[in-house]
């Protein structure tokens, strides 16, 4: 009978963990999708203020219910150079406070044994959310349904885990074994290992809560298991940092140092208090006195206290922590970092936070457009002044544009396969392939213009004063078009696209006028056929550049 009970309890525990993990992922994905724009703005406000960084990490993690996602997101931003290592460290500290919200929610769901329990009430949200997701027409309602479903499933999983703990509590062998495990270091180690395997401190903390509530372990044992879960949660950050640059690795190391520092301090304080009071004074007795008759609240509140207190201790030492991380991981460039080029706003770590990755992809495309326009300006500068001092820079930027074209398309392909994206995000991503290609073609046309300059240099020819004036006027029109196109693209406002259309028509008219003027100059013998051919080719290439810019603007049509 004991064997059957044990097997049943193990299977129930596995089922509960599985449902709990899926629920966490579902909640995190949908909450992130619903709040992606606000989260992006929140992270962009990261500054030199340590408290602001902690606040951003706390609120961001509480919003998406995943410290792992916040940590990976932060590592991605550090790797992309968007925030400094010092700023990233404070966000990581805040994420540790934000993750305690999950434990507080789980503890809340364990009340109500004599009436309808809060676990049953909260579990019902899974059904409500499922109906919303299935029958809703708007994306916002579907996302809300996903959030409610994940929230409800969280308590379904918790119920199964609690049930399995009740079964274990009926087994004398299990109770006697767990009672014998009282060494704080061993409990911290067990919590660390189990969390590293599960890769979710929320699951480990919830299991510890269930074990304490069912009387399977004491509050002090649950406290040390929870402390260990904080160290185990660093595994996600370490894995993310291993595949990234030096600063990303340092961020992961700071996360590990932070949690280890907190655990060591609390272990020493616990040992000191226990020794001075001859075993009568410990963390369990403190929180039992503060929250009598509510073991779930006692453990959840300790979890929050532990992280808040550790942040208060470490925050003044932030610069010292960063200094240690820099010394431990010197600036040794990886093969990827040795490359002259990299994506500026996205990296593979951001694939773990798809909605934010979409907004960063848009930034990358805007950056690519800026590079393309800069090279167009260089090409006009070279051919009108026959000054080739910027030729080296031009070639490097053209190579960078080609690199972004390949790397960003690959990133978008993998991002498009991720779940948790809204319909708007999916549609936007489908438009990016054409936009990236259009911007790459602008770079190619600028390269053609530089090649015309090379040919003019060989033949010793040059444009007439009138031709040079017309080329510069055309350049001004292209800049006007670019400004309208980017306003439309950034704001997804069709009214700006209408304004861009007006400028694009002006460019068409102007290039036709350039062709007529060229014929007149050719007839008058002002220019040679070779110069005239390159003049017309430049005009034609610039007109095509305008067409590609308009294609970028037109991509927003499908988003409205």
Do 382 and 388 form a contact (C-beta atoms < 8 A)? yes
Concatenate the DSSP letters of all residues of 223-286 into one string.
HHHHHHHHHHTHHHHHHHHHTS-HHHHHHHHHHHHHHHHHHHHHHHHHHHHHHHTTTS--HHHH
Do 229 and 303 form a contact (C-beta atoms < 8 A)? no
Q: What residue has token string 């003019």?
A: 456
Burial label, 268 (beta-carbon count in 10 A; 0-12, 13-18, 19+): exposed
pTM above 0.75, yes or no: no
Do 228 and 190 form a contact (C-beta atoms < 8 A)? yes
Length of the chain: 560
Inter-helix orientation angle 139-169/201-213, to 10° = 40
> Is the torsion defined by CA of 103, 109, 113, 114 positive or negative?
positive
End-to-end CA distance of the chain: give it in Å, rounded: 64
Residues with pLDDT less than 50, the chain? 1, 114-115, 334-338
How far, in Å, CA of 264 to CA of 257, rounded? 10
How far, in Å, CA of 7 to CA of 4, rounded? 5
> Residues of CATH 1.20.58.220 domain(s) within the chain?
348-559
Query: C-alpha distances in angstroms, 141 versus 97, 418, 495?
Result: 29, 20, 28
Instruction: Show Cβ contacts of residue 359 under 8 Å, excluding neighbours closer than 6 positions.
Output: 36, 37, 40
Going by C-alpha positions, the residue among 505, 486, 506, 504 that lies closest to residue 496 is: 486
How far, in Å, CA of 322 to CA of 316, rounded? 12
> Quick one: pLDDT at residue 48?
55
Instruction: Show Cβ contacts of residue 433 under 8 Å, excluding neighbours closer than 6 positions.
Output: 409, 412
Per-residue pLDDT tens digits for 222-245: 999 999 988 988 876 777 666 667
Per-residue pLDDT tens digits for 359-378: 889 989 999 999 999 999 99
Q: What is the dihedral of CA 134, 135, 141, 145, to 10 degrees?
A: -40
- Fold (CATH) for 348-559: Methane Monooxygenase Hydroxylase; Chain G, domain 1 (1.20.58)
Instruction: Show Cβ contacts of residue 176 under 8 Å, excluding neighbours closer than 6 positions.
Output: none
Going by C-alpha positions, the residue among 511, 509, 510, 489 that lies closest to residue 500 is: 489
> Is the torsion defined by CA of 414, 417, 420, 423 positive or negative?
positive
How far, in Å, CA of 535 to CA of 470, rounded? 10
How far, in Å, CA of 457 to CA of 82, rounded? 42
E strands, 336-484, are none
Token pair belonging to 489: 């693209």
E strands, 261-404, are none
Query: C-alpha distances in angstroms, 23 versus 141, 298, 332?
Result: 18, 24, 40
How far, in Å, CA of 466 to CA of 531, rounded? 13
């Amino acid at each position: 009978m004991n064997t059957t009970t044990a097997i049943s309890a193990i299977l129930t525990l596995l089922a509960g963990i599985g449902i709990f993990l899926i629920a966490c992922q579902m909640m995190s994905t949908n909450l992130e999708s619903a709040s992606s724009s606000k989260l992006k703005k929140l992270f962009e406000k990261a500054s030199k203020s340590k408290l602001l960084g902690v606040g951003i990490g706390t609120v961001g993690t509480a919003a998406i219910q995943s410290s792992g996602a916040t940590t990976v997101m932060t590592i991605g931003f550090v790797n992309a150079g968007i925030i400094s290592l010092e700023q990233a460290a404070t966000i990581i500290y805040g994420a540790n406070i934000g993750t305690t919200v999950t434990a507080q929610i789980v503890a809340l769901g364990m009340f109500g044994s004599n009436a309808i329990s809060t676990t049953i009430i909260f579990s019902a949200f899974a059904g409500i959310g499922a109906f919303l997701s299935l029958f809703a027409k708007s994306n916002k309602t579907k996302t809300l349904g996903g959030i409610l479903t994940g929230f409800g499933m969280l308590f379904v999983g918790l119920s199964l885990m609690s049930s399995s703990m009740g079964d274990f509590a009926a087994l004398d062998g299990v109770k006697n074994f767990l009672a014998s495990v009282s060494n704080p270091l061993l409990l911290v180690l067990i919590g660390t290992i189990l969390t590293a395997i599960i890769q979710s401190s929320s699951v480990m903390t919830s299991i510890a809560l269930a074990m304490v509530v069912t009387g399977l372990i004491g509050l002090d044992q649950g406290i040390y298991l929870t402390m260990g879960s904080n160290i185990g949660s660093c595994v996600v950050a370490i894995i993310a940092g291993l595949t990234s640059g030096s600063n990303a690795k340092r961020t992961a190391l700071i996360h590990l140092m932070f949690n280890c520092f907190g655990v060591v301090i609390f272990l020493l304080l616990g040992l000191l208090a226990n020794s001075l009071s001859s075993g009568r004074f410990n963390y369990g007795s403190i929180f039992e006195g503060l929250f009598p008759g509510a073991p779930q609240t006692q453990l959840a509140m300790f979890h929050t206290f532990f992280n808040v207190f550790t942040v208060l201790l470490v925050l003044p030492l932030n610069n010292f922590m960063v200094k240690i991380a820099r010394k431990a991981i010197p600036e040794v460039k990886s093969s990827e970092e040795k490359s002259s080029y990299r994506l500026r706003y996205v990296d593979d770590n951001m694939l773990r936070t798809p909605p934010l990755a979409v907004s960063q992809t848009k930034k990358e495309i805007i950056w690519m457009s800026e590079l393309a326009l800069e090279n167009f300006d260089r090409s006009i500068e070279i051919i009108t002044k026959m000054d080739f001092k910027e030729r080296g820079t031009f070639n490097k930027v053209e190579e960078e544009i080609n690199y972004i074209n390949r790397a960003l398309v690959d990133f978008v392909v993998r991002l498009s396969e991720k779940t948790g994206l809204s319909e708007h995000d999916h549609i936007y991503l489908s438009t990016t392939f054409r936009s990236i290609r259009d911007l790459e073609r602008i770079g190619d046309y600028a390269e053609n213009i530089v090649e015309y300059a090379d040919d003019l240099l060989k033949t010793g020819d040059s444009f007439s004063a009138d031709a040079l004036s017309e080329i510069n006027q055309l350049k001004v029109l292209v800049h006007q078009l670019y400004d309208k196109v980017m306003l439309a693209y950034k704001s997804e406002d069709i009214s700006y696209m209408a304004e861009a259309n007006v400028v694009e028509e002006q460019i068409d008219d102007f290039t036709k006028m350039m062709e007529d003027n060229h014929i007149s100059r050719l007839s008058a013998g002002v220019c040679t056929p070779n110069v005239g051919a390159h003049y017309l080719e430049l005009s034609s290439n610039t007109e095509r550049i305008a067409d590609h810019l308009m294609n970028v603007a037109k991509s927003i049509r499908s988003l409205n």
